[in-house]
Structure 1
Amino acid sequence: MIKFNLCLAMVVVPCLTLFSACNSDNNDQSKSTAVLDTVSLSSKSFALAYQDGSKIVATSIDTMKQISFGGATDPAISPDGNKLAYTVSDSIGNRSIWVADMEGKSQLQLQANSKNYYHAAWSPSGKTIAFNLFSDKSIWKVAVIKADNTGLLVLDSKLTTRLFSPTWKSEAEVVAHDLKNIYTFDTRGKLIDTKIIAELLGADYHVSGSNSFFYTSDGKKLIFNAGFGKPVEELKDLAEGVFALDLNTKKVTRISPERMNVPYVFLTADDRIFFSGAEKPFTQSKIYVSDLEGNVKTVVNKGTNPTGTLK
């Protein structure tokens, strides 16, 4: 097991004070708890989670109420806003996923039978979590597990390609890619659909393992981020943007503003697009939200890797 120290910061905001404590048992590496103020989350006012430097912040959409976690990355807030999944790394680079029940004040480590698993993604109901897992065959796969830590399943374990960035198409369908193809699996592990990325997008969009593909709730559009355009001197690479592909017309529409680098995008089950991006000189990343038509608003002035709840 990994020994780590997960802390909750004290945050003072109008009409709300969150007190917290850390508990790390040096004699039992399997235990790590954080004490939360139950009242702070009983109204389900927390709608967004994101990374702020070395800590994770869970916040209301107006940022007036906040709670923060130290020593964790890859925030993934559940659709109802009551749970937070996150990644913890040890001193030799192994990663594991933990889930905090923010109302019940409990934490648990997902039991994935791997020393390296990360990038949690909640199903639309919040009952299941998909994630990347380094398998016993030394290849990146996608696995699913129930939120109560049962029913671990590696999706199509016979597929020999590496899989990245799992998302949910529906409660019963998980999406991942291998840089060349977008795969859809059912939650029994069967591969049910394959789409060739180059045929969908053409040659102008460059996909990396950290890029994600999300189907909209009606299944008619694909929201994704990818490198596009000419190399940017400050980045020494292509800038990434957020785009929407109409699967019927094959038309791609840009969602994120021009001249912005967007390495992370997240689509809620009710079709709100959250993303983090920075404008030149690309040193300050902000968090934005957009509808499917590209009406973008700034949500947080400093942060990365946002995930959102249902409204």
Structure 2
Amino acid sequence: MTKFNILLATLFISCLALLSACKSNGGSEEQSKAMLDTVSLSGKNFALAYQDGSKIVATSIDTMKQISFGGATDPAISPDGNKLAYTVNDTAGHRTIWVADMENKSQLQLKVNNDNYYQAVWSASGNEIAFNIFNDKKLWKVGVIKADNSGFVILDNASKINVYSPTWKSDKELLAQDLLNLYTFDISGKLIDTKSIASLIGSDFSIASSNRFFYTKDGAKLIFNAGNKDVVNGLTGPSEAVYVLDLSSKKVERISPKGLNAPYVFVTADDRIFFSGAEKPFTNSKIYVSDLSGNIKTIVDKGTNPTGALK
């Protein structure tokens, strides 16, 4: 991708910041959906989605074709680049996930009988979407639904485990963590593996509920972001960075450079590492992409929370 400044992009399609209301799944609460611009999207190929302030942006590989949504967060572009999942927060404090088809501009809310679910992530095949959901037992769980908006399930719903920040290990398995352990679930909801995070990465890191873990496609490495012990003047709270763990050697290598606070990471199924971070004075966050060897490129000069489509 070519490094660009979003303010200077030759074709930036701005969206209306207005919100339109529709009925929630339960029919009693009003939900808002993000407003999609009215320009035809025929023939556009989207490769990246990210947050830019109060809107989310989807962009083509050359960054010359873009579309934006107002009133939305947590962008998640589908592996084929044709759809975008995102979270909408309404005035009552509810969080719901919507999916926009960027070709025909249709939008729909996921059929989940709940008013607090967010942070969508697509499976590599694009056939399912996983997300965090607050269940009726007041616990955080992983929800999964098919891309055609059917077959919603909550994984491991009967247990008393809180889990956060789900990611896909494969099309049949998902990961989530509870600050202390990394859990693997199969697509049916069965808990099939539990590993202590400290036993994997050591005790020099701090884990927050927003930190995510991704296996590489060969299963040999684990990519994650976590708090560290860096002393960084001007930063409120712990500094975070992106790391790669070699599961065979147990060696952890840093991907994001020192001096950069990197609170967000996303890894595609073809092992490209997208992350956002800010350097001192920690006010302007940029978006980067890296390979497993730490070869980093800046791809967006202002943005956070990137997700990428497959090549």
TM-score by length of 2: 0.90
Which runs of structure 2 are paired with 1:24-63 in the superposition (5 Å)?
24=20, 29=30, 32=33, 34=36, 36-38=38-40, 40-44=41-45, 46-63=46-63
CA-to-aligned-CA distance 1:254-281 (integer Å, 9 cap, x gap): 0001111000000001100000001111
User: For the Cα contact (< 8 Å) 2:12–2:66, is it kept in 1?
Assistant: no
C-alpha separation in 2, matches of 1:26 and 1:86:
16
Which position in structure 1 is the counterpart of 2:149? 149
Say whether residues 1:173 and 2:173 are aligned partners: yes
Distance in structure 1 (CA, Å) of the matches to 2:137 and 2:12: 48
How many Å separate the matches in 1 of 2:265 and 2:251? 19
Distance 1:27 1:245, change over 3 A: closer
2-structure distance, mates of 1:162, 1:144: 16
How much does 1:193 deviate?
A: 1.1
Match of 1:76 in 2: 76
Structure 1 regions of 5+ residues with no counterpart? Answer: 1-10
Q: How far is 1:231 from its partner?
A: 4.2
Q: How does 1:123-202 map to 2 (within 5 A)?
A: 123-202=123-202
SS at match of 1:232: coil
**Cα displacement (A) at 1:41:** 4.6
In structure 2, C-alpha distance between the alignment counterparts of 1:228 and 1:43, rounded to whole Å:
40
Deviation readout 1:262-302 (Å, 9 max, x if unpaired): 00000001100000001111111000000000000000000
Secondary structure, aligned partner of 2:229: strand
Structure 1 Cα separation of the partners of residues 286 and 13 of structure 2: 24
Letter matched to residue 37 of structure 1: V
Q: CA RMSD in A?
A: 2.1
Q: Is the 8 Å Cα contact of residues 49 and 56 (structure 1) preserved in structure 2?
A: yes
Shift in Å, 1:202: 1.1
Kept in 2: contact 1:19–1:36 (CA 8 A): no
Per the alignment, residue 96 of structure 1 pairs with: 96
CA distance in 2, matches of 1:75, 1:158: 29
Greater fraction strand: 1
- Report how far residue 92 of structure 1 moved: 2.7
How much has 1:230 moved relative to structure 2? 3.4
State the alpha-carbon separation in 1 of the partners of residues 181 and 255 from structure 2: 22
Quick one: structure 1 residues 31 and 255, their matched pair in 2 at CA, closer, same or farther if it must change by over 3 Å? closer
Paired residue type of 2:285 = S
Amino acid at match of 2:56: I
Give 1:158 shift. 2.1
Cα-to-partner distance string for 1:22-54 (whole Å, 9 max, x where unaligned): 67358994685645434x35242x100000000
Rounded to whole Å, the distance in 2 between the matches of 1:119 and 1:27 is 21
Shift of 1:13: 5.6
- Establish whether residue 230 from structure 1 lines up as the match of residue 269 from structure 2: no
Residue 23 of structure 1 contacts residue 34 of structure 1 at CA under 8 Å; is this kept in 2?
A: no
Letter in 2 for 1:107: Q
Q: Provide the secondary structure at the position in 2 that maps to 1:199.
A: helix
Indicate the structure whose relative CO is greater, using CA pairs within 8 Å and at least 6 residues apart: 2
Q: Which structure 2 residues correspond to residues 223-262 of structure 1 after superposition, within 5 A?
A: 223-262=223-262
Supply the distance in 2 between the matched residues of 1:258 and 1:20 (Cα, whole angstroms).
36
Against the structure 1 CA distance between its residues 41 and 308, is the aligned structure 2 distance closer, same or farther, given a 3 Å change threshold?
A: farther
Instruction: Tell me by how many angstroms 1:200 deviates.
Output: 0.7
Deviations 1:214-244 (A, max 9, x none): 0010011000000112343422322100000
Aligned residue for 2:168, secondary structure, equals: strand
Matching residue of 2:215: 215
Deviations 1:64-99 (CA, angstroms, capped at 9, x unpaired): 211111000000000000000000001132100000
* Distance in 1 separating the partners of 2:277 and 2:76: 18
| Residue 251 of structure 1: how far off its partner (Å) | 0.3
Give the whole-Å Cα distance in 1 for the aligned partners of 2:50 and 2:73: 9
Residue 294 of structure 1: aligned partner: 294
Unpaired runs of 5+ in structure 2?
A: 1-6, 25-29
Count how many residue pairs are aligned between Structure 1 and Structure 2: 298
Aligned residue for 1:198, secondary structure, equals helix
Kept in 2, the 8 Å contact 1:18–1:36? The answer is no
* Change over 3 Å in CA distance of 1:17–1:293 after alignment to 2: closer
Contact 1:36 1:102 in 2 (8 A): no
The 10-residue stretch of structure 1 (58-67 or 226-235) with the greater mean CA deviation from structure 2:
226-235
